Amino acid sequence: MSSSTMPMPGSMRLAFLAWLVSAVVLALAGGSFLFTAQTQRQDSQGLLTLGVLGVALGVLTAFYALRLRHGKRSSRETLTTLGLIAGVPLLFRGPSLMALGVLLLACAALLWLPSSGRYFAARDPKAPKRRLTGRR
């Protein structure tokens, strides 16, 4: 089967949908922080910063989730990094944010299942390694 006709495995379809849900949740959380910043006088600068960050992460997550559909290896690496950097600290921020942290970490784990690895290997193979000596 050629790499362009390889169907997306179920784990990748689930990962794609889960990352889109995560993007929406991140953007909504950012929007909530922005709304709260407008209604409170205390900590409004911190809430505004968190809101902008949340919306930006939501947009970034959606962009790379869409690239997952094309089997781009860079999207897997970027989303895994985002899932780890954002997901682990959220585990310690209360029940509602803990749920988002678990979702982000589960999404990252889906990208590294064996069926997902085969999909990326077929769709976006690694470039051949070059020798450091300059000889071929």
pLDDT digits (tens, 9 = 90+) for 31-87: 998 998 888 877 788 889 989 999 999 999 999 999 998 889 999 999 999 999 999
Exposure on the CB side of residue 43, measured as CA atoms within 13 A: 8
Residue 39 lies inside a defined structural domain of this protein: yes
Residue 131 lies inside a defined structural domain of this protein: no
Residue 28 lies inside a defined structural domain of this protein: yes
pLDDT of the residue at 40: 82
- The three-point CA angle 95-116-92 to 5° equals 15
pLDDT of the residue at 134: 62
Residue range(s) defining the domain that contains residue 57: 10-123
pLDDT of the residue at 6: 74
Residue 133 lies inside a defined structural domain of this protein: no
pLDDT digits (tens, 9 = 90+) for 75-128: 999 999 999 999 999 899 888 889 989 999 999 999 999 999 899 888 888 777
Residue pair 120/49 in contact (Cβ under 8 Å)? The answer is: no
Residue 88 lies inside a defined structural domain of this protein: yes
pLDDT of the residue at 46: 86
Residue 15 lies inside a defined structural domain of this protein: yes
Average of pLDDT values for 4-27? 89
pLDDT of the residue at 128: 75
Residue 111 lies inside a defined structural domain of this protein: yes
Q: How confident is the model at residue 8 (pLDDT cuts 50, 70, 90)?
A: confident
Number of separate domains in the chain: 1
Sign for the CA dihedral angle at 28, 29, 32, 38 comes to negative
Structure tokens at 64: 């790379």
